[in-house]
Amino acid sequence: MKLAFCLFKYFPYGGLQRDFLRIARVLKERGHEIHVYTMRWEGEPEPGFKLHVLQASGLQNHTRSRSFVQKAQAALQTEAFDRVIGFNKMPSLDFYYAADVCYQSRVREQRSFFYRLLPRYREWTAQEEAVFAPGNKTTILLISPLQQKEYMRYYHTEPERFHLLPPGIAKDRIAPPNAAAIRETVRNTYAISPDHFLLLMVGSGFKTKGLDRALRGIAALPPAIKARCHLFVIGQDNPDTFLKLADQLQIKDRLRFLGGRKDVPDFLLAADVLLHPAYHENTGTVLLEATVAGLPVLTVDVCGYASYVRNADAGVVLPSPFQQEAWNEALQKMLLSSEDRKAWRQNGLVFARQADIYSLPEKAADLIECGRAKT
């Protein structure tokens, strides 16, 4: 088949982008022709993909996205595609991979009435309606069961259009036999002594991931513990706001930004706790990546994959609404209890061997090939 994939932008370290690449690769390996339409592609071109970079106009995100959607639709009409798969919301999709949270839900919960008068609100809502409004034919590949309720609440989407995929954790995240040696090498490289704590955050979009909450939690630790903590942040975003906050909290020397990296699995093995106090998070793939690496997790229940951490007993999941004091207390307890961390690590490794959390790309490819859910 001839397949078209549409996404606003590709960069190597985004969760949505990684999922797109893995699904498209599976389909290419099965003999299908892959075309990619995007506004921007960062990094090396993918061998065997036919890349179409569309120059979108506009000064703001919503105007650029509208321009891209218009140009993509025009381009798609010049080719005879068997399937059109979108990783961002837009009209005329056969399949939509629902990596983003429900925009309407987030706006209604977090914004005032006046925000809904802005052009950006109308644009983003129109793109969401183009996928989820009843009567549309788009098949929705869902990666978080929490989101189906929200979409059905605001758009009355037919339930049979949703197809829940299992998580798609890359197996290179599982702790290898030489995990202890990798841990020691990374910690030695960054001069983290054995009696110090390496705290880790992974993900682009530092504000959404709750980096400010993590910094305040470290600042609230007793001085003797705080002096032994190091927070490494991996992901692509502008760190300036958070460097200023860390400076205000007098913990700037405890913080290091490492940018986007390909060796994330090594840091999952080297760290002592993964911090993920996200404001909103459709899934939170890194929660599962940490769990199967044996890294204890401290997170919040708004993350779609937090339930896996809870069910595996691989860390601590705090309930909503978020309370900074509760986060601070939980962090301190995790750092003080080496026995708990050891138990969470072992539970995560057992979970890695038993759970079906690796087959997302293959299941998504099955659905795209069939044009419907397999029975």
Considering only CA atoms, which of 329, 273, 268 is closest in space to residue 297? 273
Residue in this structure with the two tokens 């959607």, named with its chain if needed: 69
Could you report the per-residue pLDDT of 115-131, keeping only the tens digit for each?
A: 888 898 999 999 999 99
pLDDT bracket for residue 170 (50, 70, 90): confident
pLDDT higher than threshold 80 for residue 304: yes
Could you report the per-residue pLDDT of 248-275, keeping only the tens digit for each?
A: 999 999 999 999 898 999 999 999 999 9
pLDDT bracket for residue 372 (50, 70, 90): low
pLDDT higher than threshold 50 for residue 375: no
Domains along the sequence of the chain with CATH: 2-166+359-370 (3.40.50.2000), 171-354 (3.40.50.2000)
Helix 119-132 to helix 61-76 angle (10° resolution) is 40
Spatial distance between the Cα atoms of 110 and 113, rounded to a whole number of angstroms: 10
Considering only CA atoms, which of 314, 347, 287 is closest in space to residue 167? 287
Structure token pair of residue 133:
């409004």
Structure token pair of residue 235:
């992901």
SS3 5: strand
Considering only CA atoms, which of 47, 40, 30, 106 is closest in space to residue 68? 40
Query: pTM above the 0.85 mark?
Result: no
SS3 142: strand
Average the pLDDT over each of 12-16, 100-104, 321-325 and give the range with the smallest value: 12-16
pLDDT higher than threshold 90 for residue 63: no
Spatial distance between the Cα atoms of 76 and 3, rounded to a whole number of angstroms: 10
Spatial distance between the Cα atoms of 20 and 34, rounded to a whole number of angstroms: 12
CB 294 within 8 A of CB 180: no
Question: Within 10 Å of residue 2's Cβ, how many Cβ atoms?
Answer: 13
Query: How many residues appear in the chain?
Result: 375
Average pLDDT over residues 56-70: 87
Spatial distance between the Cα atoms of 131 and 94, rounded to a whole number of angstroms: 9
353: which residues sit within 8 A by CB, 6+ positions away? none
Q: Which pLDDT belongs to residue 281? A: 87
SS3 371: coil
| Secondary structure element (H or E) that encloses residue 195, with its range | none
Q: Which pLDDT belongs to residue 292? A: 96
pLDDT higher than threshold 90 for residue 241: yes
Structure token pair of residue 177:
């036999």
Residue in this structure with the two tokens 């090498």, named with its chain if needed: 185
pLDDT bracket for residue 368 (50, 70, 90): very high
pLDDT bracket for residue 28 (50, 70, 90): very high
Average pLDDT over residues 327-350: 97
Amino acid at 158: E
Which residues does residue 84 pair with via DSSP β-bridges, in sequence order? 4
- pLDDT mean across residues, the chain: 93
pLDDT higher than threshold 50 for residue 373: no
CB 284 within 8 A of CB 262: no
